[in-house]
Chain A
């Protein structure tokens, strides 16, 4: 294992991760509101509100209520967006404004540990927020608004962690590249928002053109949303889960060393 990946398992990365956890734990009462309320609001607005006008949706030969279609997509979207947002905005603020990274780098912690600590924290938070969405969906289930295969819901958590880690490594790439915090609008609105919606999260995607096929084949968020949806709606293990797994692993293996190199240049002026 090369030093890029070995650092993920070293105590320094855990120390960075635990630092973020400690800060979060102290602010939990305000920090936990968005992940708790956002899915409720979105499920009510889109699932119940908009879904009221779309009684049934044709999906893979099935007819499903829009709320049931939306719920797994929101799980994927939450893990994706939370991890990316943390690795982009929160990490940038710690790096640039709070100088938390510099304070860590004068100890036994090295840059590769800071990178892994940030990525692991973003992934942890993304998974926790997805778990909150699962709990909210469970509440909806009790009311009888939604019918899902709940035994499968917890099975997707490890995959959501992997997905969040991959999207965190993408977020750190932009953290390394954007010149100022204002420039974050560029990746956020030109890459992340379109990716978040055009990935079978909120509506089904299909197309026969080469570009559509390429997009659907290589888009990890599409595979995650569809894989989780198939699992929760039909209870079936499926190839989308496997493809998503492979794409996320590839993203992590490729992006983390790039993040490290670019951040080394940005933070230390080296490379």
Chain B
């Protein structure tokens, strides 16, 4: 374990953000968003492109100043004491922002120089991080020789060098192959088990589902749902997802039925039609279209994402 034991003893949220607002060029890109993350918890931030995920994250870790709202990191008001709050935060940005002029090891050394008080026992800590993230064999090489997966590992190691209590991950596995993604997931999961609070944004629904204890869904800068994934899906998508062939001769009748009972237009996904239904709706559908070949499955975050993207 590379984090101090008192992490797990903390009861107050490591992140508490309330009423965050941000405008760019007169347009509100974040409008009244609030986040709460406990130690040892992963909070997933979901939304289509332009939903305000990265801007929300940037306000929380201090890259941007909110136009309104408050951010507390481990009880410290970021606005009143930005330096102390920043000391408790680690950030893994969407783009690789490691220093290409330094070797892998020196990247960690250099990162530590941007923090006061200086991280304790730095040398052994850096060695431990290099070993843990599988970077020790590349320690004396420049990061430009690293593969995508190892670049992400370096970003993670950099974010942890000063022993933060809260970690922000902005799309941490974008562009990685499935194997590299799985490895990063395992690292994130281990960090959570060690008591670090983690806030992540992602486009990958499987990633959000597997890693997040809580989800927060944004649409056009506003919160549209929050809670555990089942709750969020129930609120935003429905209890069941009905799937039928779009080419089925009965498809127009199904569309018409949906319109008559006040359901949204079934969404087309490749050769299928997807229709979200609650329990009574499903019973009604079965009574109406008993002869039709269709599949019913629980909704997934992919369904949610498609719905959000559709509305955006």
Interface residues of A (CB under 8 A from B): 11-12, 15, 18-19, 22-23, 98-100, 102-110, 268-270
Contact = CB atoms under 8 A, between A and B. Distances in A.
A115 to B, nearest CB: 15
Nearest to A110: B82
A107 B115 contact: yes
B110 interface: yes
Contacts of B93: 102-103, 106
Contacts of B111: 103, 107
Nearest to B101: A23
Tell me whether chain A's interface is mostly helix, strand or loop, or mixed. helix
Given A106-B61, A106-B63, A19 B115 contact: no
A99 B91 contact: no
A100 B99 contact: yes
Contacts of B101: 23, 98, 100
Interface in B10-32: 24
B64 interface: yes
A18 B113 contact: yes
B100 interface: yes
A18 to B, nearest CB: 7
In this complex, the interface size class of chain B, counting residues with CB under 8 Å from chain A, is: 20 to 34
Interface in B58-105: 61-65, 82-83, 86-87, 91, 93, 95-102
Contact of B63 (A18, A98, A105): A105
A104 B64 contact: no
B116 interface: yes
B63 A99 contact: no
A108 B63 contact: no
A197 to B, nearest CB: 33
Contacts of B65: 270
A15 B83 CA distance: 15
Contacts of B116: 11, 108
B114 A109 contact: yes
A212 to B, nearest CB: 44
A252 to B, nearest CB: 25
A109 B99 CA distance: 15
A102 B113 contact: no
A11 B113 CA distance: 10
A103 B113 CA distance: 12
Contacts of A100: 97, 99-101
B95 A104 contact: no
Given A12-B114, A106-B61, A268-B64, A98 B100 contact: yes
A117 to B, nearest CB: 11
A268 B24 CA distance: 10
Contacts of B95: 99, 102
Contacts of B110: 19, 22
